[in-house]
């Protein structure tokens, strides 16, 4: 690979960007003859806009956003390639202590069961309506995000219409905790470590980790401008290899403290180190049990993008009125999650992505999205 210009990559301060951080900071990118500048952003819209006009070559990006950008949904069309799954899962639904107490009081069963908590939420919403109280407000990071889809899926299974019964607002991840502490929102769905930070500060209670809603959720993509990918495929493949080496380094238990310290740096995530340690362990405050599914860094298996994952995300967009029924739209969405660059970079056998399983509701068949969507009583799509 011949020498080339510096690659500029945008990221949001979240733990699931760690593979990129480690690839750069531990020299894995340099070993692949890559010169990378990582740029810390505050909002997903900033990253989207800078990718669209070519200020960034690649980004740590919400997986659904790569599809939305390529289709030109709610924004100028900017074709992208989801060259690698940087992370699966990683989110959680967190609520204020006050709302958590209300849910406990209304719950008919174990509140750890998402169906029980969703029905309790319906009871709380109905009670507030009878008292003419303001509707509950939940924060999520972007309309085209698994955070949005996890909140909506959970709420709808309990009989809550997220577009009619309460308010969903967009907030940048680093601002979620402050807004919860000040009472501006009653809960949120955000990526790690901000749920752990809220829990550690005593201003939030983690209600459900993301995998309890659906699993495995395609969360963050290594999104690359299609023009860059097509003109410099060897550089994209080298970037994938560097990130895979970074993920391998992160998963080694002996490196956990080092990674937590790296993430705590103000130029990376900037959260407190104890919350980051719990995040990397998949552990709740005061609990010793670890859950490795809470945040999965993309490796030679989970890192491989797949058309099935794109179809599932496209189905969520259709369900909530973000995309229309379109065979061409589905085809384009699936083309975003091409495994070509990953397969050229990774030393692994090609495989099909595992099925994405939700806690309740109909199973998903990518060959019949219409049947899947028609099974839901609450949806925006006809």
pLDDT tens figures, 52-104: 999 999 999 999 999 999 999 988 899 999 999 999 999 999 999 999 999 99
Q: How far is residue 333's CA from residue 289's CA, in Å, rounded to a whole number?
A: 38
Give residue 50's pLDDT. 96
Buried b (16+ CB within 10 A) or exposed e, 114-141: bebbbbbbbbbbeebeeeeeeebbbbbb
3-state SS, residue 165: coil
Structure tokens, 332: 């384009």
Q: What is the pTM of this model?
A: 0.97
Average pLDDT, the chain: 96
Please write down the HEC assignment for all residues of 270-288: CCCHHHHHHHHHCCCCCCC
Q: How far is residue 318's CA from residue 74's CA, in Å, rounded to a whole number?
A: 14
| Residue closest to 274 by CA, chosen among 343, 185, 196 | 196
Structure confidence at residue 287 as a pLDDT band (50, 70, 90) = confident
Task: Give residue-wise pLDDT tens across range 294-325.
Answer: 999 999 999 999 999 999 999 999 999 999 99
The correct answer on CATH 3.40.190.10 for the domain covering 91-214 is: yes
Lowest mean pLDDT among 28-37, 279-288, 341-350, 373-382: 341-350
Task: Please state the domain extents for the chain.
Answer: 7-89+217-362, 91-214
- Where does 7-89+217-362 sit in CATH, by number? 3.40.190.10
Q: Would 7-89+217-362 and 91-214 be classified into the same CATH topology?
A: yes
């Amino acid at each position: 690979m011949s020498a080339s210009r510096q690659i500029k990559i945008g990221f949001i301060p979240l733990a699931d960007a760690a593979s990129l951080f480690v690839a750069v900071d531990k020299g894995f990118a340099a070993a692949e003859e890559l010169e990378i500048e990582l740029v810390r952003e505050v909002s997903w819209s900033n990253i989207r806009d800078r990718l669209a006009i070519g200020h960034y070559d690649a980004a740590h990006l919400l997986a659904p956003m790569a599809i939305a950008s390529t289709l030109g949904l709610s924004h100028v069309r900017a074709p992208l390639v989801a060259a690698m799954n940087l992370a699966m899962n990683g989110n959680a639904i967190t609520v204020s202590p006050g709302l958590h107490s209300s849910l406990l009081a209304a719950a008919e069963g174990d509140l750890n069961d998402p169906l029980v908590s969703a029905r309790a939420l319906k009871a709380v919403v109905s009670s507030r309506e009878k008292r003419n109280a303001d509707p509950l407000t939940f924060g999520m990071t972007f309309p085209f995000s698994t955070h949005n889809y996890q909140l909506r899926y959970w709420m709808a299974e309990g009989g809550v219409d997220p577009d009619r019964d309460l308010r969903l607002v967009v907030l940048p991840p680093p601002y979620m905790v402050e807004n919860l502490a000040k009472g501006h929102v009653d809960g949120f769905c955000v990526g790690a470590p901000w749920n752990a930070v809220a829990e550690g500060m005593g201003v939030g209670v983690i209600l459900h980790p993301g995998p309890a809603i659906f699993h495995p959720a395609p969360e963050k993509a290594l999104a690359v401008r299609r023009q860059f990918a097509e003109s410099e495929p060897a550089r994209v493949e080298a970037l994938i290899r560097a990130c895979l080496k970074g993920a391998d380094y992160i998963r080694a238990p002996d490196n956990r403290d080092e990674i937590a310290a790296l993430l705590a740096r103000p130029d990376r995530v900037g959260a407190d180190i104890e919350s980051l340690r719990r995040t990397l362990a998949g552990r709740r405050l005061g609990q010793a049990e670890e859950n490795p599914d809470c945040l999965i860094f993309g490796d030679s298996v989970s890192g491989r993008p797949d058309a099935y994952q794109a179809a599932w995300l496209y189905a969520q967009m259709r369900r909530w009125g973000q995309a229309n029924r379109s065979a061409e739209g589905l085809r384009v969405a699936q083309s975003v999650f091409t495994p070509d660059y990953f397969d050229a970079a990774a030393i692994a056998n090609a495989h099909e992505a595992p099925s994405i399983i939700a806690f309740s509701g109909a199973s998903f068949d990518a060959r019949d999205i219409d049947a899947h969507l028609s099974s839901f009583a609450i949806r925006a799509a006809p």
